[in-house]
Amino acid sequence: MDCIDYLVKLIDVNRSFSNLSLIKVKSFLESFNVNHSPDNEDTYLVIGKNLIGYGLTKLGYTHVKSLQGLPNFGDLSCDKYDDDVELGDLIAQETKFDYVIAPDELLTYYKTEKEQLLVIDQISRIANKGFYTTLKDYKNMHIGQRYFQEPFELKSNNGSAIVIRKRDWNRQERQCWIDRTYIIHKDNLEVCEPKDRRTMYFKQLAKFSIDAGAINFQVEKKLMYKPVFSKSFEYVIHISF
């Protein structure tokens, strides 16, 4: 079971996400000295199950495409690729975007460094101007934060749900862990599908990006991003190509 899919079914999506999507997207549009405007006619690819594509569309951006994202919900919508489309397919079709936005620590959802390098290389082939993503500061993470994220409570007309996220670190490969998510909904315990994860550090991502052709790497230190259904903040990163 996918955690986000389960939680989305508990809420009135249009009421809950409409204004929230605007807040989330501003974490990226306002974090760096980049001129974003619907008048620029720039194209955007948004990767993953997040609200960024909805927010861009609500702000009047007309060239927005979602990859492996959430479905459309009435007025809350975004043009999206079919669920089976991957980055490699876009490269094969020579599809490019001015900006790629992949929040929620996308680059940590891989088991090996080789896989992480591949995705960074793929994005460098697709993004003409820039790539936005997010990371936690794994180097300076408090010991307690390394094992558990702060619990998140979702209140809805379908009953309260508490989300608990735990990291099971690999003792042999210390940069890897299994993400385990549990949802307590009313009197039921729902166990979400475990996810293989791997750390990514700021300096590490900077090196990988430069090797892939990036010309600049920036980390926003003040305005941070918080994923939907989470209380944990993430640093916003902008990589220029």
Domains of the chain as residue ranges with CATH: 12-139+198-240 (3.40.50.150)
Helix (H) or strand (E) segment spanning residue 119: helix 113-126
- Report whether pLDDT(206) > 90: yes
Q: What is the mean pLDDT of residues 187-203?
A: 97
- Report whether pLDDT(198) > 90: yes
Share of the chain above pLDDT 70, in %: 100
Question: What distance, in Å, lies between the first and last C-alpha atoms of the chain?
Answer: 37
> Cβ(35)–Cβ(238) under 8 Å?
no
Nearby residues of 71 by Cβ (< 8 Å), 6 or more positions away: 80
Give residue 112's pLDDT band: very low, low, confident or very high (50, 70, 90).
very high
For the chain, the average pLDDT equals: 96
pLDDT of residue 53: 97
Q: Measured between alpha carbons, how far is residue 40 from residues 36, 67, 98, 100, 115 in Å? A: 7, 22, 11, 16, 34
- Report whether pLDDT(145) > 90: no
- Report whether pLDDT(143) > 90: no
- Report whether pLDDT(113) > 90: yes
Lowest average pLDDT, out of 12-16, 197-201, 217-221, goes to 12-16
- Report whether pLDDT(222) > 90: no
Q: Measured between alpha carbons, how far is residue 60 from residues 10, 28, 34 in Å? A: 28, 16, 17
Listing DSSP states for 168-203 in one string gives: EE-SSSTTEEEEEEEEEETTEEEEPPPEEEE---HH
- Report whether pLDDT(75) > 90: no
